[in-house]
Each structure stands twice: as C-alpha cells, then as structure tokens.
Amino acid sequence: MDTKQLFAYVYDRVSENVAVSEDLSDFELGMLYECGDDSIPIADVGVVLAEWFELGDEPYLKELMAGVPPELKTDDAGHERHFYGDDGTLEQNVYEARWDGFVEGVRYKHRYFNADATQFLDSIFSVLVVGGDQLKVEVVRTICPGDLLFRARRAQSQKQAEEIYKDPARQLGPTPKHLASSQRMTPNGISALYCALERETCLSEIRSITGDHVVSAALTPTGELKLLDITALSRVEPPALTLLDEGFRESRHRKVFLDSLVKKMSRPKSSDDELSYLSTQVVFEYLRTRFGKYVDGMVFPSVQTGEVGTNVVMFPEASRLSYTPPSDPDPADGPVQVAVPAENTFGPPAKLSVVAGSMRFHRVTAIETRAKEYLHFYPLFMNDLDRKRIGPYFE
C-alpha cells in the first residue's frame, strides 16, 4: 500500500474515532481540568497513535508521527490538541443529538414522508439484524401455544360485562378502527392489541380507578409467536471494531443510546403535550414495516408497574383474537359464549386465542401509589443529565 494512502487512513480514523474538546460538555471539561477528575483518559496525538491505536511497534511509526496534520497537533486556539477516550458514555452522545433531531423532525417538519427519520432509524436498528434484514436471536422473544398473555377491559355496566363474557374474542380484541385513539405505539385510527405478560400488569395499564369494574382474560398463541423484545436491546453487542476501523466511535455511542432507547419508548405521556407519543408511534410503524415479516409485535417495559411488569403490543395485522368455548359449558356459569373461528375469510388467521375458563372479574378497591421521597424540591425536577452527574447525593 502506498505510504501516503495508509497514513491518510490512520489520520482520518483519529479524527473520526477519538473525541476532542469540542465533543465534551463544559461540565466534563471542568471536571477534568479544574477538579482533577481522571475518569476520562487524556492523551496527545503521539500517545493516541503509539498506545491507543497500538502502532508503537510498527517500523513506520516515526514517519507516521512526522506526517501528522497540523489540526491533530494544535487546536483552533493554538494550544496542544488533546484527545479523550470515548466509550460512548460521554455526555454529548451523537445518537442522543440525532434522536432530538428526529423528534423535532416528525413533530414539526415532515411527519409522514421523512427520509431523515428513516435514515436515522436505519442507523439505530442496523445492529439488530444479520444477513441483511434477519433479526438477531437475542432480540426475539418466542411465545409458544400454552404460554399466557393477558388482556383487560373496563366494564361500565353488568350488560357490558355480560357482552364481554359471551363474546370475549370480539370484546377483548383490538378497539374498532373508528374508535381507536392515540396510544403509545399507535396513532388515532390505527388499532392494535395491547396486552401484558402478567395479569396484574394489564390491570395497571388500563389505568382503572377505585370503584371500576374490570374484566381480564388469558390469551395464548395459536402457533409460535415471535416478538421483538426491546428490553433486550442492552444485550446487543456492537460490531467488534477497533480504533482503526471506520465507525468505531459511532458504534460505541449507538450501544449506549440503545440502552436509553428502552426508557424513551416506555416513558409515560406528558399530560400537557399531545405530541408526546408521536416519536414512539413513528418508531413502532418503522419496526412494523421493516420487521413485520419476522415478528408479530413488540415487548416493552410497563411504566405503570415501575418497569417490573412487561407489556406486549401486537402489530395490527396480528391483533385479531379467536375463541373456542368449552364443548360442555356449565349452565350455572351464565350465558352461552360465542365461538369465533381462528380462520378469517377476509383477513389473516388469529394469532392469539382467548383461553377458555381464564376470564376473571375485578372490582378495583384501591390504587397503590409509589413515590420517591426527597428532602429538597430541586431533585424532584432534576433532569436525567444532572441526576447522572450528581449521583446519589440527592437520593
């Protein structure tokens, strides 16, 4: 290889993969230079090339050092250029900035045909696929026939509870399209089935209040059900790159951002912001379009249970329910239930079936409120970045 070509490649990787002062926040720079914090490694270009890039034993090192471009030696103020180790946890994560731009774009610029949003989501979720578009096994959760999911619905009257009991497949199925309101993953008019892996979780998620009457039932797949598990994003490892590879620093930032994406997708709607769910709705539609041939829906944490419970949302085309009542129902159980066949002449077969005998009727007697207590009002309104900086001081 031509020497100039090799050296130019190495210098380009230094510029791309190693952070400089502009990539650190004022807080991080202050902690390093004024408070003596040593949590972020600092080096000049010589150390970067010889040690961080592990080129110290190469016979061309002296020539490589001699040809270092001026911008890698000094900064704009004429001072020696410092470089900083970046494992993706620096405060100015490039994907966090792009997420903010994505949210801004779908809210106020191009909501329906947004090439920038597609490009951004492609870059985020590229680490989930292998072989072109096949999802990695670690992000797919398989639910088999016999495994249970749960679905709940408020009953405003005895008549409504009886209707749910008599025809659970239709009454517990997705909301009719003309009645479907804006939800975390779906906008007005798009109907999808929201359920949970625990009965208690689905009772919490419908936000019932004391005195409400709720009907819940267990669901089980009619065949193997595949779900994209966003709670597993933190287990997705970035490509095995080094500082000499293109995209090394960006892959580290993406890994850290994926950890925070789970919270962004699960965050409750702000009471004074009608567009709170718009970004998650766009992400859901993207995942449905791109991976719908591999999975039938998504798994995400339940914020109503403090992320202890787990929610499931089915893609609209997989949201239909079926039900087969017992062949010899007990007359004492009440009205005869209606069988809804698994096959549908006018659409795809049902992916989930209501489990016979699983229906339960609940009267909400109390709502438990859990709260974190502080000694001062400041941490109550502290943003995530300040909370990370201060750590347990205000806990």
- Residue 181 shares a structural domain with residue 324: yes
- Residue 166 shares a structural domain with residue 307: yes
Q: Which of 38, 66, 84 is the last residue of a domain?
A: 84
Is residue 96 domain-resident? no
pLDDT digits (tens, 9 = 90+) for 289-346: 999 999 999 999 998 888 889 999 999 999 999 998 877 666 656 666 666 655 454 5
DSSP, residue by residue, 226-284: EEEEGGGGGGPPPP---TTSTTHHHHHHHHHHHHHHHHHHHPPPPTT-TTTTHHHHHHH
Is residue 243 domain-resident? no
Print the domain residue range for 9. 3-84
Quick one: average pLDDT of 65-78? 93
pLDDT score of 190: 86
Element of type H or E holding 4: helix 3-17
Is residue 185 domain-resident? yes
Q: How many domains is the chain built from?
A: 2
- Residue 149 shares a structural domain with residue 45: no
Strand partners, 214: 154, 362
Element of type H or E holding 126: none
Angle of helix 248-266 versus helix 115-125 axis, rounded to 10: 100
- Residue 168 shares a structural domain with residue 301: yes
- Residue 161 shares a structural domain with residue 22: no
- Residue 317 shares a structural domain with residue 197: yes
pLDDT score of 328: 67
- Residue 152 shares a structural domain with residue 287: yes
pLDDT score of 227: 96
- Residue 17 shares a structural domain with residue 152: no
CB 229: neighbour CB atoms within 10 A? 21
Element of type H or E holding 26: helix 26-33
- Average pLDDT of every residue of the chain: 87
Is residue 77 domain-resident? yes
Q: What does the chain come to in residues?
A: 395
- Residue 65 shares a structural domain with residue 190: no
> Of 101, 121, 103, whose CA–CA distance to 291 is shortest?
121
pLDDT tier, 188 (very low <50, low <70, confident <90, very high otherwise): confident
- Residue 199 shares a structural domain with residue 306: yes
pLDDT digits (tens, 9 = 90+) for 20-70: 999 999 999 999 999 988 899 999 999 999 999 999 999 999 999 999 999
> Of 126, 144, 142, whose CA–CA distance to 134 is shortest?
126
SS3 state of residue 78? coil
- Residue 41 shares a structural domain with residue 159: no
Is residue 102 domain-resident? no
Is residue 238 domain-resident? no
- Residue 304 shares a structural domain with residue 222: yes
pLDDT score of 318: 92
pLDDT score of 42: 96
